[in-house]
């Protein structure tokens, strides 16, 4: 998509090696330029249509309206985004901390796997948000319910992928490690955990998307802070511009959380195959 | 070659072990679904001998290897290494499979050094051995590469280095070159022979390839299927190192023919 930008680079000025080094940067820049142009055109069209047909602001706000709110209400949005981010991080970390050992235990004990399989299938297919009202009864409105819903949302994808990761070790490799006299703990530390890391991480990437989804729903129903709560409250005041601003803030937060996870991947798995 | 550190001091001086097996039998499972995979067979492998097991798929070659190293329990019979009866997996062994089985999250050198970490051996000493092996196996410069950055032949060389770095008394190889291209296979076969001539480990080499068996072995044991049995023993009297192009020896085709004829007689090959 961004190839033209690269071709536009004057070839005579750069040596081939320089060009090759510059190419990713140019591609990256090109991608951003294209994205900005596309978004600007789209928002411009939106703005124009609203103005031409004089749609009232309480029905559909103009981009200029809600983009302005993003600036004027920045402190408010940031405050609630902070609450939402904290909830995501806590629920997600709790999910990883429970799902990975649980996946390992289930894979390690065949009886556990056979016994728990129907339960796992049932809980995995059940929409986790239906537990929300039950949790409210147990814990009341507050941050704990949101954290628990986020935990439940990301728990299963992480556990299922961790299980396949722990299973993936070639049984022939066990012959080699056994000939080395490896203890079960050594095998876990040197082989099984690092071997399962890519799968666990794949599960975490699905889990974080679920976590963001879960946190907003949780804040809709069971919270007095956070972006979900802010949007819900704005809705009861018919403050559509703030709702749109909240929507954008939520998307930006999701992007940020994803970016953190992606950079963590490079840090934790330096061996991973990466395009040169 | 003179510039290199002598491998026998670099990688230790443990000689090969003798392997004897009597009435070796393996039955997988029990009851009506039991599968008689091997035996009974007898083995008598001298210290430092290079012995190949050749035969069609399912003749119990790999099973034999797992039994003599104690990695699988015997159903019947006994194994002794250096005269000592085997009761648990022996650790004085290096194993190479057809799949390189390198850990993708470790560099080539760290894959080899896994032996040092798990066995708790001296780091500096083992690193020196690993370096010598890397040099001998043409892996110098590949130390910090991850398996996916290496060619199939190089991965298998790393796998051989891992099997030798702790100075074992025997080397078990289960079709180690089976997944390689013909050119790599010829080269790695030669390199293995040179390494073996220097270290004199006892090698049990499992293969489907008549050329590999005759090209490498002191002795070839031809096996048949269901249950796996040794049907013929062929001593290969060819000078070493053997040339890459084995056709230079007229005796080579005689040996190859003999194995081929056994295969035909056993019904491994059916030509019309």
- pLDDT computed for residue B271 by the predictor: 76
CA–CA gap between residue A195 and residue A201 (Å, rounded): 11
Contact A168/B at CB under 8 A: no
Name the domain count of chain A.
Answer: 2
- B69: chain A residues, CB-CB within 8 Å: 179
Q: Is residue A273 part of a domain?
A: no
A143 and A250 within one domain: yes
CA–CA gap between residue B169 and residue B200 (Å, rounded): 9
The residue of chain A with its CA nearest to that of B108 is A271
Q: What is the pLDDT of residues A15-35, one digit of tens each?
A: 666 666 666 667 778 888 998
Contact B222/A at CB under 8 A: no
- B130-137 average pLDDT score: 91
Decide: B258 and B67 in contact? Cβ < 8 Å. Answer: no
Q: Which residues contact A119 (CB under 8 A, 6 or more apart)?
A: none
Nearest to B91 among A170, A172, A181 (CB): A181
Indicate whether this complex's ipTM tops 0.85.
no
A39 and A172 within one domain: no
Q: What is the pLDDT of residues A30-66, one digit of tens each?
A: 888 998 999 999 999 999 999 999 988 888 889 998 8
Helix axes A74-108, A63-72, angle to 10 degrees: 90
Q: Is the pLDDT of residue B3 over 70?
A: no
Q: Is the pLDDT of residue A154 over 90?
A: yes
Which range among A1-15, B20-34, B133-147 shows the weakest confidence by mean pLDDT? A1-15
Size of interface A-B (CB pairs under 8 A): 56
Contact B197/A at CB under 8 A: no
How far B259 CA lies from chain A's nearest CA (Å)? Answer: 29
CA–CA gap between residue A52 and residue A47 (Å, rounded): 9
Cβ–Cβ gap B104/A271 under 8 Å: yes
Q: Strands B84-85 and B50-54: what pairing?
A: unpaired
- pLDDT computed for residue A13 by the predictor: 54
Task: Determine if the peptide bond prior to B243 is cis (ω within 30°).
Answer: no
- Which CATH number is A208's domain given? 1.10.3720.10
- A78-100 average pLDDT score: 96
Q: What is the pLDDT of residues B211-222, one digit of tens each?
A: 999 999 999 999
Q: What is the pLDDT of residues B148-161, one digit of tens each?
A: 999 999 999 999 99
Q: Is residue A276 part of a domain?
A: no
Cα angle: B183, vertex B261, B233; to 5 degrees:
85
CA–CA gap between residue B193 and residue B123 (Å, rounded): 28
Domain boundaries, chain B: 7-266
Decide: B207 and B180 in contact? Cβ < 8 Å. Answer: no
Q: Which residues contact B226 (CB under 8 A, 6 or more apart)?
A: B36, B58
Q: Is the pLDDT of residue B199 over 90?
A: no
Domain range for residue A251? 63-268
A32 and A74 within one domain: no
A150 and A218 within one domain: yes
Decide: B187 and B153 in contact? Cβ < 8 Å. Answer: yes
Contact B104/A at CB under 8 A: yes
Cβ–Cβ gap A172/B97 under 8 Å: yes
Q: pLDDT confidence of B88, banded at 50, 70, 90?
A: confident
Q: Which residues of B128-154 are buried (b: 16+ CB within 10 A; e: fewer)?
A: ebbbbbbebbebeebbebbbeebeebb
- B104: chain A residues, CB-CB within 8 Å: 195, 271
Q: Is the pLDDT of residue B6 over 60?
A: no
- pLDDT computed for residue A10 by the predictor: 42
What's the N-to-C CA distance of chain A in angstroms?
19
How far B99 CA lies from chain A's nearest CA (Å)? Answer: 9
Q: Which helix (H) or strand (E) is A205 found in, with range?
A: helix A193-222
CA–CA gap between residue B269 and residue B266 (Å, rounded): 8
Q: Where are the beta strands (DSSP E) in B82-143?
A: 84-85, 93-96
What's the N-to-C CA distance of chain B in angstroms?
50
Q: What is the dihedral of CA A257, A263, A266, A272, to 10 degrees?
A: 60
- pLDDT computed for residue A31 by the predictor: 85
Q: Is residue A225 part of a domain?
A: yes
- pLDDT computed for residue A22 by the predictor: 64
Q: Is residue A165 part of a domain?
A: yes
Q: What is the pLDDT of residues B104-122, one digit of tens each?
A: 899 999 999 999 999 988 8
- A191: chain B residues, CB-CB within 8 Å: 103
CA A35 to chain centre: 21
Q: What is the 3-state secondary structure (H, E, C) of A213-271?
A: HHHHHHHHHHCCCCHHHHHHHHHHCCCHHHHHHHHHHHHHHHHHHHHHHHHHHHHHCCC
A180 and A92 within one domain: yes
Per-residue DSSP letters for B157-205? HHHHHHHHTT--SEEEEESTTTTS-HHHHHHHHHHHHHHHHHH--EEEE
- pLDDT computed for residue B175 by the predictor: 93
A163 and A80 within one domain: yes
Adjacency order of strands within the sheet including B202-207? B93-96, B170-174, B202-207, B50-54, B219-224, B229-235
How much of chain A, in percent, has pLDDT values that exceed 90?
Answer: 55
Averaged pLDDT of chain A: 87
A108 and A8 within one domain: no
Decide: A229 and A169 in contact? Cβ < 8 Å. Answer: no
A100 and A81 within one domain: yes
Q: CB A160: neighbour CB atoms within 10 A?
A: 18
How far B101 CA lies from chain A's nearest CA (Å)? Answer: 6
CA–CA gap between residue B221 and residue B43 (Å, rounded): 10
Cβ–Cβ gap A195/B103 under 8 Å: yes
User: Is A104 exposed, middle or buried (CB count within 10 Å of its CB: 0-12, 13-18, 19+)?
Assistant: buried
Long-range contacts of A4-9 (CB under 8 A, 24+ apart): A4/A30, A5/A29, A5/A30, A5/A33, A6/A30
- B14-41 average pLDDT score: 86
Bridge partners of B228, per DSSP, are B38
A85 and A24 within one domain: no
Q: Which helix (H) or strand (E) is B53 found in, with range?
A: strand B50-54
A45 and A162 within one domain: no
Q: Is the pLDDT of residue B7 over 60?
A: no
A218 CB-side CA count, 13 A: 34
CA B174 to chain centre: 6
Which range among A19-33, A146-160, B28-42, B73-87 shows the weakest confidence by mean pLDDT? A19-33
- A177: chain B residues, CB-CB within 8 Å: 118
Which residue blocks in B46-90 are alpha helix, DSSP H?
A: 61-68
Bridge partners of B44, per DSSP, are B20
A44 and A78 within one domain: no
Q: pLDDT confidence of A129, banded at 50, 70, 90?
A: confident
Q: Is residue A264 part of a domain?
A: yes
Q: pLDDT confidence of B233, banded at 50, 70, 90?
A: very high
- A71-95 average pLDDT score: 95
- The answer to whether domain B7-266 has CATH 3.40.50.300 is yes
CA–CA gap between residue B113 and residue B107 (Å, rounded): 10
Nearest to B99 by CA among B156, B170, B20, B162: B156
Q: Is residue A275 part of a domain?
A: no
A128 and A13 within one domain: no
């Amino acid at each position: 998509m961004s190839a033209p930008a690269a071709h536009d680079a004057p070839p005579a000025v750069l040596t081939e090696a320089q060009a090759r080094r510059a190419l990713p940067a140019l591609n990256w820049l090109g991608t951003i330029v294209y994205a900005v142009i596309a978004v600007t055109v789209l928002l411009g069209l939106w703005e124009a249509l609203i103005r031409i047909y004089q749609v009232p602001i309480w029905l559909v706000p103009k981009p200029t309206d809600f983009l302005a709110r993003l600036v004027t209400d920045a402190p408010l949005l940031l405050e609630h985004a902070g609450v939402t981010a904290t909830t995501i991080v806590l629920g997600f970390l709790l999910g990883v901390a429970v799902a990975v050992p649980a996946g390992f235990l289930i894979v390690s004990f065949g009886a556990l796997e056979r016994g728990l399989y129907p339960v796992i299938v049932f809980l995995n297919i059940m929409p986790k948000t239906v537990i929300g009202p039950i949790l409210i009864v147990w814990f009341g409105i507050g941050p704990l319910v949101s954290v628990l819903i986020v935990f439940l949302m990301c728990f299963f994808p992480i556990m299922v992928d961790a299980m396949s990761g722990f299973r993936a070790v070639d049984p022939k490799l066990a012959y080699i490690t056994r000939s080395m006299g490896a203890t079960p703990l050594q095998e876990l530390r040197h082989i099984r955990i690092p071997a399962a890391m890519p799968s666990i991480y794949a599960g975490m990437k699905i889990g974080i998307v679920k976590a963001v989804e879960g946190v907003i729903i949780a804040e809709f129903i069971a919270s007095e802070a956070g972006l979900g709560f802010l949007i819900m409250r704005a809705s009861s005041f018919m403050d559509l511009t703030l709702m749109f601003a909240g929507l954008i803030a939520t998307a930006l937060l999701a992007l940020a959380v994803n970016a953190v996870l992606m950079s963590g991947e490079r840090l934790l798995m330096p061996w991973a195959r990466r395009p040169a | 070659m003179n510039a290199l550190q002598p491998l026998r001091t670099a990688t230790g001086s443990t000689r090969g072990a003798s392997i004897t097996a009597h009435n070796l039998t393996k039955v997988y499972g029990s009851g009506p679904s039991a599968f008689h995979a091997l035996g009974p067979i007898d083995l008598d492998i001298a210290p430092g001998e290079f012995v190949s097991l050749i035969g069609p798929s399912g003749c119990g070659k790999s099973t034999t290897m797992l039994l003599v190293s104690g990695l699988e329990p015997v159903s019947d019979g006994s194994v002794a290494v250096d005269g000592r009866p085997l009761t648990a997996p022996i650790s004085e062994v290096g194993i190479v499979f057809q799949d390189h089985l390198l850990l993708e999250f470790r560099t080539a050198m760290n894959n080899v050094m896994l032996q040092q970490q798990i066995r708790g051996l001296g780091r500096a000493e083992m690193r020196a051995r690993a370096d010598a092996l890397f040099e001998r196996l043409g892996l110098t410069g590949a130390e910090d590469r991850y398996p996916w950055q290496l060619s199939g032949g190089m991965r298998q060389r790393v796998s051989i280095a891992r099997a030798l770095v702790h100075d074992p008394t025997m080397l078990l190889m289960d079709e180690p070159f089976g997944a390689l291209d013909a050119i790599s296979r010829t080269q790695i076969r030669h390199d293995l022979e040179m390494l073996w001539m220097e270290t004199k480990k006892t090698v049990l080499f499992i293969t489907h390839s008549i050329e590999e068996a005759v090209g490498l072995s002191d002795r070839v044991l031809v096996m048949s299927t269901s249950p796996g049995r040794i049907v013929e023993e062929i001593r290969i009297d060819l000078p070493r190192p053997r040339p890459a192009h084995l056709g230079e020896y007229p005796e080579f085709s005689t040996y190859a023919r003999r194995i081929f004829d056994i295969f035909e007689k056993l019904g491994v090959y059916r030509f019309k």
